[in-house]
Amino acid sequence: LANIYMALVHYPVYNKNREVIASALTTIDLHDLSRLAATYNLAGLYVVTPLEDQLRVAQEMIDHWCHGWGKAYNRNRSEALSLVRLARSIRHTRAEITETCGLAPILIGTSASTVLNRATYEQVSALTDGKTPVLLLLGTAWGLTTESLAECDYNLEPIYGPTAYNHLSVRSAAGIILDRLFGRR
Ligand code: SAM
């Protein structure tokens, strides 16, 4: 999937009081989401945060597993983490993908709550035409802000099971979303 990207957004996101914060990275997110990106053959996984110390933590982790002792120890992790790219904002991420692909990415927002301009999984998979890049935005903490979701070209319909409860971890949500969009039946 030459032009499908995923971004794990740490700012701007909501906290439980619906204030806009910059959430801290969790290394399990990077491991899990990079392995998902490798499994579904994504072009890259962007880790988005403006915080210098968080960017350093992520870079140190990538260096360890991709270049350091970790690479010899576990090549599977190294292969997955080599898909991780760091960016200070969603705007920077879009600009870098535009630079790489020569076309601006279609922005797809995700959220557990129903949002405006919702798109079904069928509509979003139809967008992956192999030319125009697609960037899936995943939030952390209590989710992406209304402003970020409003800037998306589409917002993927929330994942629901048979009940009203649908507050998934970003790792579980990403797995379900990618398999619904790109998984082999
Ligand atoms: N209540 C938050 C929300 O409405 O998105 C859940 C935040 S959750 C810890 C982090 C991210 O996982 C969300 O920003 C979204 O990207 C994804 N996510 C969580 N539950 C989801 C669902 N049911 N459907 C789609 N995406 C979901």
The mean pLDDT value for 36-65 works out to: 96
Measured from the CB, is residue 136 less than 6 Å from ligand 1?
no
Measured from the CB, is residue 148 less than 6 Å from ligand 1?
no
Residue-wise DSSP of 134-148: EEEEE--TT-B-HHH
pLDDT of 62: 92
The torsion of the CA quartet 173, 171, 115, 117, rounded to 10 degrees, works out to -80
pLDDT of 72: 85
Contact 49, 7 (CB under 8 A): no
The residue ranking higher by pLDDT, 76 or 171, is: 171
Give the number of the atom of ligand 1 that is nearest the alpha carbon of residue 167. 20
Distance from Cα 146 to the centre of ligand 1, integer Å: 13
pLDDT tens digits, 73-114: 888 888 999 999 999 999 999 999 999 999 999 999 999 997
Measured from the CB, is residue 143 less than 6 Å from ligand 1?
yes
pLDDT exceeds 70 at position 44:
yes
pLDDT exceeds 70 at position 149:
yes
For the chain, the first-to-last Cα distance in angstroms comes to 17
